[in-house]
Amino acid sequence: MTDTRTALVTGAARGIGAATAQRLAADGYQVAVLDLREQDCAETVEAIRADGGSAIGLGADVGDADAAAAAVARVVDELGAPTILVNNAGILRDNLLFKMTEDDWDSVMSVHLRGAFLMTRQVQKHQVEAGWGRIVNLSSTSALGNRGQANYATAKAGIQGFTKTLALELGRYGITTNAVAPGFIGTDMIRQTAERMHLTYEQFVEAAAKEIPVGRIGHPDDIANAVSFFCSPAAGFVNGQVLYVAGGPKS
């Protein structure tokens, strides 16, 4: 173990999570790359190590209390106590309300909300002990409401309330908590949404870009850059904020 700070990023096998893990490694942090299956983390871990960074991969269901505890314990053993946590893990189970099943609802809540709660509860004790910490939660513009996403929109709105409450509770310990709310970002999730709407990915992206003021969709690195700032020492007086990274104004 070294004196280098350790970051833990959930849902980091691909997309926004992978880009964030790689950006934090480039910022000089050791990174624990966590996803549902450890083998899925290998590509992200290898990319970080190829660039000279330090990383390990872990498999865990963030919605399982025992799995969350075991994952954080392993990070402590192999990299040192994590003082940076990025709660990025998420899934989609989109459907209109009258078609949405209880499992669609419960699965989304388990990963997004229960997962963020369980992971944060495990990590915050190490942050309090260190007298310093950064928590960044991934919300979404869907928190403002989005057709066919009653479960996802509710979870992402809940993440914002969770963020603001943690900011009030943990700020006195040198821990800041903020949220990043991505807009339309080119990821596998977007491909799933395009399929649900019976569109090709290219058609979906082209239509979306026309509605975004900057004239393009977002990329995972756009979100990773915002997370990087919130994790930095320079962001020590920014706490309880929700930053919409969407190519235009959202509120």
Question: Locate tokens 């966590």: which residue?
Answer: 34
The helix (run of H) or strand (run of E) holding residue 21 is helix 15-26
29 is catalytic: no
Positive or negative torsion for Cα 34, 36, 39, 42: negative
Which residues neighbour 212 within 8 Å (Cβ) at sequence distance 6 or greater? 183, 184, 246, 247, 248
Among 152, 173, 201, 244, the one annotated catalytic:
152
Q: Which two tokens stand for residue 229?
A: 């700032």
Distance, CA of 101 to CA of 82 (rounded, Å): 36
The answer to whether residues 231 and 24 touch, using CB atoms and an 8 Å cutoff, is: yes
95: amino acid identity, one letter: N
Where in the sequence numbering do the catalytic residues fall?
152
